[in-house]
Amino acid sequence: MSSDDPADRDAPACAEQITYRVDPVDRGQRLDSFLVRRMHWRSRTSIQKLIQDGKVQIVRRAARAALHKPAAVLVDGDTVHVTLPKPKRDIDFAASAEGAIQELPILFEDRWLVAVDKPPNVPVHPAGRNLHRTVITLLRQRYARADDPGAAVQPKLCHRLDLETSGVLLVAKEDQAHRRVSEMFRRRLPEKEYLAIVHGVPREKSGLIDLPLGPALGMTVAMARGVRHDIGQKAETRWEVISRSGGFALLRIGLLTGRHHQIRVHLAAIGHPLVGDKIYGGDEELFIRYYDGALTAADQARLLLPRQALHAHRLELTHPMTGAPLVLVSPLPEDLAAFLRAREEGS
């Protein structure tokens, strides 16, 4: 997504510069195809618009930088310079308390993979309102090579977490590892465990939710999912009560399938929605006002937490390159732990 705001073009501090080197293997590629392979977080259409807007330049050996069309053909030795304008709303986000994160906590790293402990309210990749303060862009900055831009690691997501969900997120540092891990997730081989704080305390100590999910009926939010016995996809969620605190419960969640918003919809369906859930907590108007930046103090008081109380606690899989067991764990974050402590003290 690019910006047409003249302020973006006039203020270098409001733009990010990326440089790529054209190697012999890239000779003869179209400019837009070359960038699509490297800027995988952006669509081909948005990349073509960057080129057409004059945000992409090619330096050909000793020649002066030139502007080109998407179909321009690259030659060995070219250097491609990309200027990514930062929309004002993205700059404002980066300056806010939520966007203040400068680097990501690393849980594990080797030559093939990196696992980060994603904070809440940090997007996994550039999209919508937040284009620069994301897991992918922060990792790209971490692995940048000013001396040899073409050798820089291009991180690729192996799976995703919602904006407000915190915890273990696995990212590949090279293509073969990414393909292998993606296939593992497609086959549902990795074991994923979440921690969730819900309204109310389930009567049973544990259980299995087996309810098919599909597009929600009668809801305004387009992305909303719901239980659909007619066209829904099979979805199974295991849960277990870990502790109880003043009318709330901390649950351990195991996913047997991986449907969109599965945990949130399933827990709401059994009468125990996530604390802080703006879509499935009983009033989707909260999400609409949140999206518009119009949440009131009364809305925030109703939510109890500024984000949904869901944390990706544990991910276990076989290392795609070494074959060794890989167990990644992120403890319950402080904001959720503090919520539980406050309820225990008040009970």
Amino acid of residue 50: L
Average pLDDT, the chain: 85
Question: Could you tell me the fold of the domain covering 89-187?
Answer: Pseudouridine synthase (3.30.2350)
**Assign residue 271 a region: left if phi > 0, alpha if psi is -120 to 50, beta otherwise?**
left
**Is 91's pLDDT higher than 60?**
no
Dist CA 321 CA 110 (whole Å): 11
The predicted pLDDT at position 2 comes to 33
Active-site option among 162, 283, 299, 335: 162
User: What is the average per-residue pLDDT within 7-34?
Assistant: 69
Q: What's the pLDDT tens digit per position in 51-73?
A: 888 888 888 865 655 556 888 88
Q: What's the pLDDT tens digit per position in 225-262?
A: 999 999 999 999 999 999 998 899 999 999 999 899 99
In CATH terms, the superfamily for domain 191-312+338-346 is Pseudouridine synthase (3.30.2350.10)
The predicted pLDDT at position 145 comes to 77
Nearest partner of 133 among 162, 96, 161, judged by Cα: 96
Query: Is there a common fold for 6-86 and 89-187?
Result: no
Dist CA 146 CA 138 (whole Å): 15
DSSP-assigned letters across all residues of 265-297: HHHHHTT-PBTT-TTTSS-THHHHHHHTT---H
Helices (H) and strands (E) in the chain, counts: 10, 16
pTM summary value? 0.73
Q: What are phi and psi of 128, to 5 degrees?
A: 55, -120
**Is 7's pLDDT higher than 50?**
no
C-beta separation of 273 from 267 below 8 A: yes
Dist CA 254 CA 269 (whole Å): 16
Per-domain boundaries in the chain:
6-86, 89-187, 191-312+338-346
Q: Is 94 exposed, middle or buried (0-12, 13-18, 19+ CB in 10 A)?
A: middle
C-beta separation of 313 from 165 below 8 A: no
CA dist list (Å): 264 to 55, 137, 165, 270, 276: 40, 27, 11, 10, 11
288 or 265: which carries more pLDDT confidence?
265
Dist CA 36 CA 32 (whole Å): 6
How is residue 330 annotated by DSSP? -
Nearest partner of 197 among 339, 15, 59, judged by Cα: 339
Dist CA 159 CA 308 (whole Å): 19
Domain spanning 6-86: CATH 3.10.290.10: yes
Nearest partner of 314 among 267, 265, 254, 241, judged by Cα: 254
Please measure the distance between the N-terminal and C-terminal CA atoms of the chain and give it in whole angstroms.
Answer: 48
Dist CA 194 CA 340 (whole Å): 16
Give the helix, strand, coil percentages of the chain, each rounded to 5.
25, 30, 45
Is residue 162 flagged as an active site residue?
A: yes
